[in-house]
Structure 1
């Protein structure tokens, strides 16, 4: 595996940081000297993240319990902290890895700096910083069903993280959601909740749903032999409603426990919303960051 690669994107204002499976877009707003210092801090921290995670990977792939384990790496500790509140079901810290990396690099970016706002986008799982009085817009990337809305987060909102999961995404899913997007206090919390809510959008045993053991697709998967979704065939309206209702119940439980602020669940062109935040439109939201 090659080492960390850090370079400016063609627009000259965003940094692209890539190392193995980690692929970040980083942007900060503020005085030029503060931005430059923040970028240097973020780059220095990013250069060490993957090696630290690799050193504790075995434990990170083991299920979390109600009692947090000790991890040497700060990113691993973020992952465990995000996973433990969900320990009543099968969950490992790996469910929070993308969000936790975004949180960790963002923390390095803003420490000691006077910035207006900033974000770290890790493949759509994103961490946000907002100084008092600031705001940022989240662009709604399409799910294949034509969504093109925006969500606005301002400094008074209790949200600093957004994450998306589903069977069509980068990671394997136990459920059939096309996408579940979650807003939470940080990106790691949003990441693990999105994973588990997407798992809950399901129709167990349905003949139109194809599944395979996770470890036959990815031998080192933390899911082991658990069956993950590889295809979703035709579903009628009642079946879609049943699957989404199961996911919505899981989302509402997370929201009632204070683990998330809001969620949008997508399946076969249908959508269900849990909670509300900022100017979240009725059309729902998903995805990537777009500054106002």
Structure 2
């Protein structure tokens, strides 16, 4: 495997960092030179840090949690632990993308704060799992996309006064396997790692167990190293009746409302075969028209 690669994108503004399966897009409204130097320095150690504790990170989180040496692994475990304590099967890998984004953003902010030049806005996008920084008066707009084909579902606006600093989208057809049939689940949370694991688990919850139109195979048959082991992951879903779509979405919606009630997420939008459900505060409009490009998928 080659080492970390870094390059500015053609717009001359955003930084692209890539190493193995980790692929980041970074943008900063501020001192980009200092910010990007800090991002590259932290990114250089990320993959080796994760690989060093990978067996434990691929194993289920116990309700009481565990100790990890690496900062990113600790973020991952902290993100999944509340769900494990609630009795769900989950491994820290469910929060890996969001936790990496958090860690790199933290390095950027620390460098700029030390220099006395905090940014107006900054984000680290790890394949659609996004860690945000917003100074007072700033906002961040993003499009919600289906993970299967990149088609648009709507827009989200996050204001600096909002508690949201993490966004993640998961579902069938994304980068990871799903136990459910949601085409996309987008979650807003206070941190990217928390949004990441919640999107994964809510994607699993949108389901119709035992339905003949849903094709499943053990995860291990697709990837011998999968943290899901022999659990059946969805490889296809035929056309469902309207009542079946509603039933599957309702399962996910109930799970999302439980997460909201527990303070684990701020909002979630769930999508399946042209229908959607939203769990959000009354003043949070997660869908605000069609996007002009997909920017949150993973």
From 67, 72, 76, the counterpart of 2:69: 72
User: What does 1:1-40 correspond to in 2, within 5 Å?
Assistant: 1-30=1-30, 34-40=31-37
Change (3 A) 1:169 1:155: same
Q: Which residue of 2 aligns with 1:133?
A: 137
The reply on whether 1:59 has 2:56 as its aligned counterpart is yes
Q: Which residue of 1 aligns with 2:90?
A: 91
Aligned residue pairs, count: 286
The two structures have a TM-score, normalised by structure 2, of 0.92
What's the offset of the Cα at 1:133?
A: 1.6
The reply on whether 1:41 has 2:38 as its aligned counterpart is yes
8 Å CA contact retained: 2:120, 2:134: yes
What's the offset of the Cα at 1:140?
A: 2.7
Change (3 A) 1:234 1:149: closer
Q: Which residue of 2 aligns with 1:154?
A: 159
Change (3 A) 1:287 1:77: farther
Q: Which residue of 2 aligns with 1:280?
A: 286
Change (3 A) 1:112 1:103: same
Secondary structure, in 3 states, of the residue corresponding to 1:109?
helix
Unaligned runs of 5+ in 1: none
Question: What does the per-residue CA deviation read over 1:146-167, in whole Å, with 9 as the maximum and x for residues that have no partner?
Answer: 5353211111101001111111
From 201, 213, 220, the counterpart of 1:208: 213
User: What does 1:110-189 correspond to in 2, within 5 Å?
Assistant: 110-113=109-112, 114-142=118-146, 144=149, 147=152, 149-189=154-194
What's the offset of the Cα at 1:106?
A: 0.6
The reply on whether 1:237 has 2:234 as its aligned counterpart is no
Q: Which residue of 2 aligns with 1:249?
A: 254
Question: What does the per-residue CA deviation read over 1:49-82, in whole Å, with 9 as the maximum and x for residues that have no partner?
Answer: 0100000000001111222211111000000000
Unaligned runs of 5+ in 2: 113-117
Question: What does the per-residue CA deviation read over 1:166-195, in whole Å, with 9 as the maximum and x for residues that have no partner?
Answer: 111110000011111100001100000000
Secondary structure, in 3 states, of the residue corresponding to 2:45?
helix
What's the offset of the Cα at 1:14?
A: 0.4
Secondary structure, in 3 states, of the residue corresponding to 1:111?
helix
Question: How far apart, CA to CA, are the structure 1 residues paired with 2:226 and 2:98?
Answer: 18
Question: How far apart, CA to CA, are the structure 1 residues paired with 2:146 and 2:96?
Answer: 23
Secondary structure, in 3 states, of the residue corresponding to 1:115?
coil
Question: How far apart, CA to CA, are the structure 2 residues paired with 1:53 and 1:282?
Answer: 37
